[in-house]
Amino acid sequence: MTSSDHPIKCLKKDNVINVFFVWLFSLKPMETPAETETDNLILSMKTTATSRYNASVRLKHRAKFAFFTTTILSLGLIFIPLMQNAGVKIAFPIGVLNAMQIFLAVSVLVYSVIIGTARYDLRSEKLNECGNKLKEIIREIRREKETCGGAISGEYLKTLQQRYSDITTEVENHIRNDYRLSLLNMKDEYSITGFKRLNLWIEYTLVNIFNYLTSIILLFVELVFITDMLGVSSLLVGFLNGCK
């Protein structure tokens, strides 16, 4: 090994360390630099379209989980009196069972009203349609760029921007968490790495879980109550039996 090999190895090592720190702290520019105003418009449209698709999927999941919650609560409402009539040994007094049935009935009513007024399916369809329209404009811009040799007139660009504005204002906007998911998924367009990406993922996950937290708690309470009622568990037996 010659004496010149040592400095080269040091330089390579320093370069690896620099690359690692750039990745760890996400020091690169977040957005991929755009060459023209048209490219900026395409990036904006693509991000919005992806966010609208994310919003559409989110609302579909909310609708399905709300329906699932209503179904399980309804089954619990039916199951409790069936077990009473079947003569099964029950760990709770009649008053507690009646109170739980009233609670489940009100919960089912509230969720039914929420599902009816939230119109998850209709809103999801409109957001998905908005994303499709934006994708079509992006394809139109790219075809125009190929036809014009990469240059688009300012007048045509203004027309596209107006169409973009009209399409996005026709429906409700996506929420911040939909945008977070877009940033996480659009790796070619946005450079987010290391701690910054981890923080963004944690924020997205926590907000997403919080949206389902009420339903999860209700289902958990129902499950614990029924298993306690049948003697499978005893988490609430001591507390609720003290209510005689």
What would you report as the CA-atom Rg of the chain, rounded to the nearest whole angstrom? 28
What is the reported pLDDT for 172? 97
Q: Name the stretches of the chain with pLDDT < 70.
A: 1-14, 243-244
Range list of β-strands (E), 114-196: none
- Residues in a beta bridge with 89: none
What is the reported pLDDT for 20? 87
Instruction: Tell me the two tokens of residue 57.
Output: 């999927």
**Using one digit for the tens of pLDDT, what is the confidence trace for 188-214?**
999 999 999 999 999 999 999 999 999
Gap between the Cα atoms of 33 and 219, Å rounded: 48
CA distances, 117 to each of 49, 85, 104 (Å): 26, 36, 20
What is the reported pLDDT for 92? 94
Helices (H) and strands (E) counted in the chain, each on its own, are 8, 0
What is the reported pLDDT for 154? 84
- The residue written with tokens 């010149």 in the block is 4
- For the entire predicted model, the pTM comes to 0.90
What is the reported pLDDT for 148? 81
- The residue written with tokens 């079509």 in the block is 136
- The residue written with tokens 């977040």 in the block is 30
Gap between the Cα atoms of 125 and 186, Å rounded: 22
Gap between the Cα atoms of 131 and 46, Å rounded: 9
What is the reported pLDDT for 152? 83
Domain boundaries, the chain: 33-241
